[in-house]
Structure 1
């Protein structure tokens, strides 16, 4: 049975630690030191990466040097020993995985779907956040919208493991973008309590995101109306609504 735990890093990053038996893997280790602390006397079996940003890859070299472990991820990252591309289905930690290309935040971004028995676990880096999405550093709005739509089509009970603790701030934007959405209001109350206790708000689920994440709700009449007030045309496509939302969030 696989267990998945967050390892906090920097101010708000999560490095995800996966364990099954004697195997230990981490996803997006931006810093090696908290991984060393979490492992204790255990050995690291492998590393999974979603994209090339330093806060996701900065600890890779030290971990590789310490454990001589393989690194799976986009070929754009120098330390990757096993490149992954869209449509790959590796078997790791005794489980089947799906690799999904999700450009937008970066052009090389991938998401990783772990099949653990009947459960699906999505490691989405900085593409999909709880109640939000990543900034567009390299890709286009069209790419990011398509990537988010691809993730939104996963089963509703898929657990979502993103790489930052942004949930409370994202929900405050979601409330502004879709006032009157009771699911957003309820989630914000719950998240504030969780954060007051210094607990992580993750994982989320795809179903919860589809109900409360404005970037997955571009067909909402309320969101469309507010986007039009901010410059979207009256007959705006979902991508055009998304573009206005993302620009609004960038300065919120």
Structure 2
């Protein structure tokens, strides 16, 4: 009994995701970036979604909500803090709530920073987390509505999940993120090797996701605010976690 995942591209760089409970066949979409690729994925797999698990209100994550609700009669779940900005929402969730896809249970984790009410969904039994635009492979989301302190708290929540957790993110940003990561952590051998692998995948037209929390903890600078080498590279050996994180985010914003 687990979650079966169909990951596919939407728009220019969004990931669409169908998540199916293998025991019951019940299927959820994680966000709804674009109708046509989602319909093609449903046709390809034969998995008809009964719900959308919405992570945040940005248009590139909710654009197909109403069309899919009309077509499939599905239930739209999303963060209570953004309910008034999520088209067609039926059920609101907050920190610690549980949502079920068949017999698979997900804990809702409030992960603000990118937006004020962003949530992530952690399916503990399946060992999968959907972090959308909070945690990216080798990066994190821009702070459109939150502060560095908000995002740091959110990332710390994700960082304590089991290291083997498989992470699905909202966008194919990994190659650009790798180039930036090397500017603040240039001697990290695991990062250098990973960056080469990412380049190969992209040259072959393959996705760089999913990733794992273990891999991100070893190579993602936005989860490595504590690392003495990164702190030394930034000239911030004795700075607070928040200050180090904020500096890394500031540098990425202008990279």
User: 2 CA distance for matches of 1:153 and 1:124?
Assistant: 14
Partner residue in 1 for 2:197: 190
Q: Does 1:237 align with 2:246?
A: no
For 1:81 and 1:221, the matched residues in 2 are separated by 46
Counterparts of 2:249 and 2:48 in 1: how far apart (Å)? Answer: 41
1:18-33 to 2 correspondences below 5 Å: 18-20=19-21, 22-33=25-36
Shift of 1:13: 0.5
Which residue is 1:53 aligned to?
Answer: 58
Give the alignment of 1:70-109 within 5 angstroms: 70-75=75-80, 76=82, 77-109=86-118
The offset of 1:42, in angstroms, is 4.9
3-state SS of paired residue (1:108): coil
1:226 corresponds to 2:233: yes
SS at match of 1:90: strand
Note the C-alpha offset of 1:94. 1.5
TM-superposition CA deviations, 1:202-228 (whole Å, max 9, x none): 111111100000011112222112323
- Matched residue of 1:45: which SS? strand
Deviation beyond 4 Å, 4+ runs, structure 1: none
Is residue 198 of structure 2 the alignment partner of residue 199 of structure 1? no
Query: Which of 161, 165, 174 lines up with 1:158 in the alignment?
Result: 165
Task: Give the C-alpha shift of residue 92 in structure 1.
Answer: 2.1
1:136 to 118, 125, 143: 143
5+ residue gaps, structure 1: none
Q: CA deviation at 1:6?
A: 1.0
Structure 1 residues 239 and 163 mapped into 2: Cα distance closer, same or farther (>3 Å)? same
- Which of 115, 123, 135 is the equivalent residue of 2:124? 115
CA distance in 1, matches of 2:233, 2:124: 38
Task: Give the Å deviation of 1:43.
Answer: 2.8
d(CA) in 1 for partners of 2:214 and 2:124? 17
Are the aligned partners of 2:76 and 2:88 in contact in 1 as well (CA < 8 Å)? yes
In structure 2, runs of 5+ residues without a counterpart are none
- Name the CA distance, whole Å, in 1 between partners of 2:33 and 2:122: 20
Matched, 1:248 2:251: yes
C-alpha contact (below 8 Å) 1:74/1:80 kept by paired residues:
no
TM, length-normalised to structure 2: 0.92
Are the aligned partners of 2:109 and 2:119 in contact in 1 as well (CA < 8 Å)? yes
CA deviation map 1:168-197 (0-9, x unaligned) = 111111111111100000101111111111
RMSD (Å), alpha carbons? 1.4
| 1:15 aligned partner | 16
Normalising to structure 1: TM-score of the pair? 0.93
